[in-house]
Structure 1
Amino acid sequence: MRPELEDFRHHLRHLARDQGERLALRGATQRYSYAQLLEAVEQRTAHLAAQPAGALALALDNGPDALIWDLAALFSERPCLLLPPFFSPAQRAHCLMQSQASLALVEPRLEDELRGNGFSHGETFWYRPAVVDAGLPLGTAKITYTSGSTGTPRGVCLDAGAMLRVARELEAASRPTEPSHYLAILPLAVLLENLGLYAALCAGATLTLLPGEQLGLGGSSSVDWKRLLASIALSGAQSLILVPQLLLGLVTAIERGVMRPGPLKFVAVGGARVAPSLLRRAAAVGLPVYEGYGLSECASVVCLNRPGAVRPGSVGRPLPHVQVKLADDGEVLVSGSSLLGYLGEPPHLGQWWPTGDLGRFDEDGYLYLAGRKKNQFITSFGRNVNPEWIEAELTQNGVVLQAFVHGEGLHQNLALLWPVDPACTDQVLEQAVRQCNEQLPDYARVHRWARLPEPFSSASGLLTANGRPRRMAILEQYREILSAMVTE
């Protein structure tokens, strides 16, 4: 067993021995002390070790079972694929096919999908013989798929050491505030949340994992705020991880007197750009928010503001386990915690990982981000979206001639449309958008749209000579229309 993994396992055994009666994990109906948690993990580790070789696919709702099986896969050194609940059936099928997962544990609603992908149900697992060698890089512990910047997400292969180094640094960053109760908000399939749970275990904290429905979360962008806020308040959480849109809801609720910060001591926020004004509002209501930055390819968190080292507007200083520098063009480069490789692609052999993000450092080493090199945008829910993918889908139905999609830092994807037939009614355009949305995962769907007053053209400076949209020019010209479409 790899040293970092052995150390983590020894730590859990130490907690089970010295604090065995302490509450470690609770869900909607289940509770585990640290002694009971270790016993459950070791039993399932042994069970997994006895199964045929191959990756384990997990598509379980948040709860104790999801974390225990995840830990069992980690300690049995079996590659684990976490299937995001916000993926479409086609995307899940791609992940299962590419990874050649031979075992699966899923929610009942996904069982028909497993049958369609060649799995048969056994006593504990769903089974499927591998057809070909998936080509997993040696040492792969987790396959975390990006949220699909195009229709086909990419599988990021990570080793246990990279993930556990991040978990230890997250625990160290929050240690001055001494949080002892962690509430998981994001799906376990989100790497940031997965490692947040490991960090809470490193701290010997009590972890609460509740199903998405109980939390009021559906898909990647649907929130029942009454349920979510009640869950945060009733859980007694002292630490949690949020994406910007969830932070906005929490801050707004506190401002309106719906709830108070309560016992919260450490609220990490990441996954997408956080507006400086929102951070100021959080500070004004006494919410201890710490913005960070990371990416799956670097095992999640790279930089983080932390107690005693906060610079509003920045994403913090690099954590001790990584080195960060800037390329000549300002691109952020990271060394010390890179992926093993993308599944199905050549392994990553370079020392520095090019993040695709542009940034700058201040004189004290705090990193400030300045946007992305490519067109891909990140919604306020932390989902990566390539607008060209959605635009292509919108223009496939014979109704829409031109489409421009925007959603950077927003909780809604916005579209500007020009129809094939200028006499086309708004009702026909709306139906075309709805039909397109049915083919897309929920985080990529168009939530609001507006009809363009005239088509894009090279003469107006909104198209290149070969017909591609000049995105910055379009954003500048139609900024008011786009801003008017945004709702709270």
Structure 2
Amino acid sequence: MLTVALDIKQAKIHGVLSLDALVNDFSIALKNRKYPHAPVGVIADNSADWIALDLATQHLGIPLIPIPHFFSNEQKKHLIDSAHIFTLFAEQENIFELYGFDENSGQCHSLFLSHLENYESKDVNKDIQKITFTSGTTSKPKGVCLSSEQQWSVAKSLEHALANLKIKKHLCLLPLSVLLENVAGVYTSFLSHTEVFVFPLKDIGFRDPFNFDAAQCLSKIDTYKIESIILLPQMLHSILNIIEPNDPRIQSLKFVALGGAKTPRLLIQKAKDLGLPIYEGYGLSECSSVVSLNLPNAYKVGSVGKPLSNRKIKIAEDHEIEISMTNKVNYLGEVSDDDSWFKTGDIGHIDEEGFLFIDGRKKNLIITSYGRNISPEWPESLLMEQGLYKQVMVIGDAQPYLLALILPSFDISQASIESSIRSVNKALPSYASILNYIVLDQPFSFSNGQLTENGRLKRDVIQSYYQKEINTLYESSKDLTLL
């Protein structure tokens, strides 16, 4: 059941006369199933129906499993099997057989639904409302089990944090299968009495999940005078490539939240200089999305803001960020960790004013052959802040020095590249200096398996792809041109 005082009659979705009636229709469809409490999956584009289905499952206490479009068929089947989904909602009627569902489907508004043909009913944890899967760095996605209360608690904190902005129009730019848009976008808007604008992704600039048309997106923002959006770093980069200072298409925006992967300071400063009200934050699925966020009255460049009012954060002796958890983290199919402090795997620090800074990933730590520990995000961020490169990855584990994989933003000479790396090395100790580089033959992307859906580097995959070139450079001492 919904655990917050959400008045659905007051919740507003653009173009929907009665969200309450829509939720009721989906509730009836769910209650009329052979197994009315069995988990539900949804694989569909953004729409008001998607949101109504989500609210209906919360009202009835049924687990919902959002299935991202951008997962492979193998990953989608893994989700369906591991989450024990009985009913699948989809916008396309012809996909059900592919995943073992009855080919004779029903329909509720724009979404078709079908049930698994061979299903064995199992007891369902009543505290689980949503199982959100992230692809991470492996082929098999990992499911994080969340209660309705956990999600709405974050939304309530965000509502309080953003209250002074009096935001009246929010545009959903991320897929609703991404938890961040669910919680920080839709739920927060509902609690704030903010009108939610939700369109098919192709109508807001996504020809496919990873091909973003910034001009089309800005046109939609301008047409409806949108006041808040959530961006991933690669989306911000595309927008900054086409806007001018104080561009009229962004004048209505009051708050642009930035999450996903670490963003170079130079990119954020450029956004601010162009008049984009950008505020970087930090979150994890295990924590029901947002943990900390920069705000207009509490902002520091380079940080991910201060913790939300419902968060407590500490930095461990090894600099790992730990977050206090009222509810223990629950992964699907795994024994829950009873530790009240969740170890994020991120390395960071909190300054004297309480701002949180992300310094890297603990598992990414490079240990050179000289025994020096280096977080690769450190030299990577220095390179990215020069504005010369679209993408950078630094390697050097068990090697005597660091090597950079770089994708220039434009045509650039070898001399200019080496000059830029020498400049970065001046800000690094000798053991963390970059002494060689490889110019990439293609960008890191989700489609080639080298990025996660949030834009994080799949370091093992990338290193394996370029292993021959890497070995050649490390084996040839004469190529140490940057010493």
Under TM normalisation by the shorter chain, which class is it?
A: 0.7 to 0.9
Distance 1:135 1:47, change over 3 A: closer
Distance 1:255 1:337, change over 3 A: farther
* 2:106 matches 1:123: yes
Of 314, 331, 351, which aligns to 1:342? 331
CA distance in 2 between counterparts of 1:267 and 1:454 reads 39
* 2:30 matches 1:48: yes
Deviations 1:117-152 (A, max 9, x none): 210133232101564577764411001001332111
Of 145, 163, 188, which aligns to 2:176? 188
2:263 alignment counterpart: 274
> What pairs up with 1:77-476 in 2 under 5 angstroms?
77-108=61-92, 111-112=94-95, 114-120=96-102, 121-124=104-107, 125-128=113-116, 131=119, 137-195=125-183, 196-255=185-244, 259-336=248-325, 340-375=329-364, 437=448, 455=471
Distance 1:356 1:115, change over 3 A: same
Q: Is the 8 A contact 2:247 2:275 kept in 1?
A: no
Q: Secondary structure at the match of 2:230?
A: strand
Q: Is the 8 A contact 2:245 2:274 kept in 1?
A: no
Q: Secondary structure at the match of 2:190?
A: helix
Q: Is the 8 A contact 1:298 1:337 kept in 2?
A: no
Deviations 1:368-414 (A, max 9, x none): 1100011399999xxxxxx9xxxxxxxxxxxxxxxx99799x9xxxx
**Per-residue deviation, 1:307:** 2.2
2:371 alignment counterpart: none
CA distance in 2 between counterparts of 1:407 and 1:191 reads 31
Q: Is the 8 A contact 2:173 2:231 kept in 1?
A: yes
Deviations 1:299-345 (A, max 9, x none): 11001111211111110111111211011100000113556411111
Distance 1:456 1:163, change over 3 A: farther
CA distance in 2 between counterparts of 1:218 and 1:405 reads 32
**Per-residue deviation, 1:286:** 2.1
Deviations 1:411-432 (A, max 9, x none): xxxxxxxxxxxxxxxxxx999x
Deviations 1:44-65 (A, max 9, x none): 2233233223111011101111
Distance 1:250 1:340, change over 3 A: same
CA distance in 2 between counterparts of 1:339 and 1:228 reads 38
Q: Secondary structure at the match of 2:242?
A: helix
Identity score, percent: 32
Say how many residue pairs are matched: 401
TM-score (norm 2): 0.74
Deviations 1:169-207 (A, max 9, x none): 122222111110000000001100011211101111111
Distance 1:406 1:341, change over 3 A: farther
Distance 1:458 1:284, change over 3 A: closer
TM-score (norm 1): 0.73
CA distance in 1 between counterparts of 2:316 and 2:225 reads 44
Of 3, 8, 14, which aligns to 2:5? 8
CA distance in 2 between counterparts of 1:162 and 1:54 reads 21
1:7 alignment partner AA: V
Gap regions ≥5 residues in structure 2: 108-112, 366-375, 382-392, 394-402, 410-439
Q: Is the 8 A contact 2:13 2:197 kept in 1?
A: yes
Distance 1:340 1:54, change over 3 A: farther
Q: Is the 8 A contact 1:137 1:341 kept in 2?
A: no
1:119 alignment partner AA: F
CA distance in 1 between counterparts of 2:404 and 2:128 reads 36
Distance 1:271 1:453, change over 3 A: closer
Distance 1:88 1:441, change over 3 A: farther
Distance 1:262 1:42, change over 3 A: same
**Per-residue deviation, 1:234:** 1.6
Q: Secondary structure at the match of 2:149?
A: helix
1:61 alignment counterpart: 45
2:28 alignment partner AA: A
Moved more, 450-459 or 241-250: 450-459
CA distance in 1 between counterparts of 2:328 and 2:207 reads 29
CA distance in 1 between counterparts of 2:45 and 2:192 reads 24
Q: Secondary structure at the match of 1:273?
A: coil
**Per-residue deviation, 1:282:** 1.8
CA distance in 1 between counterparts of 2:123 and 2:248 reads 50
**Per-residue deviation, 1:6:** 4.0
Q: Secondary structure at the match of 1:248?
A: helix
Quick one: higher RCO (CA 8 Å, sep 6+), 1 or 2? 1
**Per-residue deviation, 1:250:** 2.3
Q: Is the 8 A contact 2:329 2:342 kept in 1?
A: no
1:155 alignment partner AA: G
Distance 1:354 1:451, change over 3 A: closer
**Per-residue deviation, 1:458:** 7.9
Gap regions ≥5 residues in structure 1: 17-23, 381-386, 388-403, 411-428, 462-473, 480-488
CA distance in 1 between counterparts of 2:351 and 2:291 reads 17
1:482 alignment counterpart: none
Deviations 1:59-87 (A, max 9, x none): 11011111111111111111000011111
**Per-residue deviation, 1:229:** 2.0
Of 56, 60, 63, which aligns to 1:76? 60
CA distance in 2 between counterparts of 1:280 and 1:430 reads 29
